[in-house]
Structure 1
Amino acid sequence: MAKVVVIGANGFIGSHLVDGLVGAGHEVTAFDRFSTARPTFSALGVTVIQGEFLSRADLESAVRGQDYVFHFLSTTSPATAEADPTLDIRTNVAQTVELLEACVAAGVKKFYYASTGGAIYGPQDKAEYSEMDRALPISPYGIGKLSIEHYLHYFRKKHGLDSTSLRISNPYGTRQKPNRKQGLIPIALRQIVLGQPVIRLGSGSMVRDYVYVEDLVRMVIPMVGVDSQFDLYNLGSGEGHSVAGVIESLRRVTGLDFDVTEKPTPATFVDRVVLNTGRYRSEFGSVELTILDEGVRRTYQEIRGQSNG
């Protein structure tokens, strides 16, 4: 059993990670603002620390005495980072450096960082991307994530802080907040539940690697405390689905005939991103993946239940 803290524990991926870590027998501390009335994770026996990511003192309190730190909090989304690139620099990048400094002072053994596989490789016109491919992000969100990955290298060299970057594809599933304007599937499902048109960017030809959040957590858990071969891993389904294909899945699952409104594709959006997860699978084995329709069905049930509630 290890002592671990999840930064961003009340968020979409973070809350599922808390449940997975507790289920694996670890002693878990959950750090977040906890702006909701109750934690979104379901596990019991979790130590809750309510604090602000932008507070150095709060971060120092969160990492004190911990073996492993999971940084799964972001102050921006791709859209908000695009609207104000300096916000991402001033909050995500700068504050993560302060978090790393706090980890060094606390003697943390390893730092796990939720990077992005969806935005970090940029437009290179490849069928899929491996960790050996160059990272050429063209969005502020991806640039910020890559900057933090570089700081992890610095802290390893300068201070001996071990770390692993997890380049996560396009996660979706329960507990994702559709009002945050990030994630095609939950946003579209919310529009459907409200009886409003689904917004499609471009013709629907964009291809993404969608991974159900519980599958993602099952990938992360075996990595805890392991002296892994690499410091960087792609985590995703390894399969591509077009936006048009996702919309057809939404129709099949909901059984509803909804309108689709097309809007221009932002200039910084990449046409195709599918991750090669061979490095992860060769070291940690394969995870049985949830098929798209089933993941959409679970997400739809939750969003519909929230609407009825």
Structure 2
Amino acid sequence: MAKVVVIGANGFIGSHLVDSLASAGHTVTAFDRFSSRSPTFTPQGVNLLQGEFLSRADLEEAVRGQDHVFHFLSTTTPATAEADPTLDIRTNVAQTVELLEACVSAGTQHVFFASTGGAIYGPQDKAEYAETDRALPISPYGIGKLTIEHYLHYFQKTHGLSSTALRISNPYGTRQKPNKKQGLIPIALRQIALGRPVVRLGSGSMVRDYVYVEDLVRMITPLVGQATEHNLYNLGSGAGHSVSEIIESLRRVTDTDFEVRELPTPPTFVDRVVLNTARYRAEFGTTPLTALDDGVRLTYEEIREDTNA
């Protein structure tokens, strides 16, 4: 078992990852601001460390004595990075470099970075994307993630800091914050719970690879302490669903005939992104996946409860 710290531990994926790592028997430190809400993960046996990602001193404290560092915090979303690309550079990219420097000084064994599989490949008109395909992002969010991946390579070459980039598809599920305006499923479910119209970008033909968050963290946890063949993995369901198919799932689950309002598709959105996960499955096997309607139902139950609270 290892000593691990999750940077962004109270976030959507991070909180589920804390639970999964702790359940696997690892000694987990949860680093986050914890400013707006109490821990959403199960805190029993987890070391809570409150701090600011933008503070070098706080990062140094977070990684001190840790075997593995999970960098699952982002200061921007695709929308906020689009609105101000320099914000992504000044905060996400620059501060990740400081985090990597802190890891080198602390003697960290391995860094796991939550990259993006949804934005990093760009528009290449492929049925699916493998890790060997070129990364050609056209959005500031994707460009920032790819830049950090390059810095991982740099620190591995110059300082021997071992790392793994995880190109995650489109995760959804419980503990996702609809008010952050990231993620079609939680945003739409919140609108439905409030009796408001659901916004659809474009005609509904856009295809994404949706993966339920608990399935995702079950894919990540076995990587700890393993000698892997690669330093880059696609993580997703390996299947694509169009926006129209997602909306039909929302109708089935909520049993609601909600209104759909169409808005233009942003120019940096890619029409189709489905991830090839054969590299991961060849090393770690197949992870049982939650059916779309089941995952949507679990997500809706939480959102409806929060809305009615």
After TM superposition, the score normalised by the length of structure 1 is: 1.00
**Superposed counterparts of 1:220-299, under 5 Å:** 220-299=220-299
Instruction: State the SS of the aligned residue for 1:276.
Output: coil
Aligned to 2:196: 196
Asked if structure 2 preserves the Cα contact closer than 8 Å seen for 1:53 and 1:95, the reply is: yes
In 2, the alpha carbon distance for the partners of 1:272 and 1:61 equals 41
Aligned to 2:168: 168
Question: How large is the RMSD of aligned CA atoms in angstroms?
Answer: 0.5
Per-residue deviation at 1:54?
0.2
**Superposed counterparts of 1:177-196, under 5 Å:** 177-196=177-196
**Superposed counterparts of 1:13-162, under 5 Å:** 13-162=13-162
Identical-residue share of aligned pairs (%): 79
Asked if structure 2 preserves the Cα contact closer than 8 Å seen for 1:168 and 1:235, the reply is: yes
**Residues 50-92 of structure 1, C-alpha deviations (whole Å, 9 max, x = no match):** 0000000000000000000000000000000000000000000
What code does the residue aligned with 1:221 have?
T
In 2, the alpha carbon distance for the partners of 1:137 and 1:34 equals 32
Per-residue deviation at 1:43?
4.2
Per-residue deviation at 1:283?
0.2
Instruction: State the SS of the aligned residue for 1:228.
Output: coil
In 2, the alpha carbon distance for the partners of 1:57 and 1:47 equals 18
For the structure 1 residues 288 and 43, does the alpha-carbon distance in structure 2 shift closer, same or farther, using more than 3 Å as the test? farther
In 1, the alpha carbon distance for the partners of 2:107 and 2:239 equals 39
**Residues 229-279 of structure 1, C-alpha deviations (whole Å, 9 max, x = no match):** 000000000000000000000000000000000000000000000000000
**Residues 173-204 of structure 1, C-alpha deviations (whole Å, 9 max, x = no match):** 00000000000000000000010000000000
Per-residue deviation at 1:308?
1.3
What code does the residue aligned with 1:18 have?
V
Per-residue deviation at 1:37?
3.4
In 1, the alpha carbon distance for the partners of 2:273 and 2:148 equals 21
After TM superposition, the score normalised by the length of structure 2 is: 1.00
Gaps of 5+ in 2: none
Gaps of 5+ in 1: none
Asked if structure 2 preserves the Cα contact closer than 8 Å seen for 1:22 and 1:43, the reply is: no
Runs of 4+ in 1 over 4 A off after TM superposition: none
In 2, the alpha carbon distance for the partners of 1:308 and 1:11 equals 22
What code does the residue aligned with 1:179 have?
N
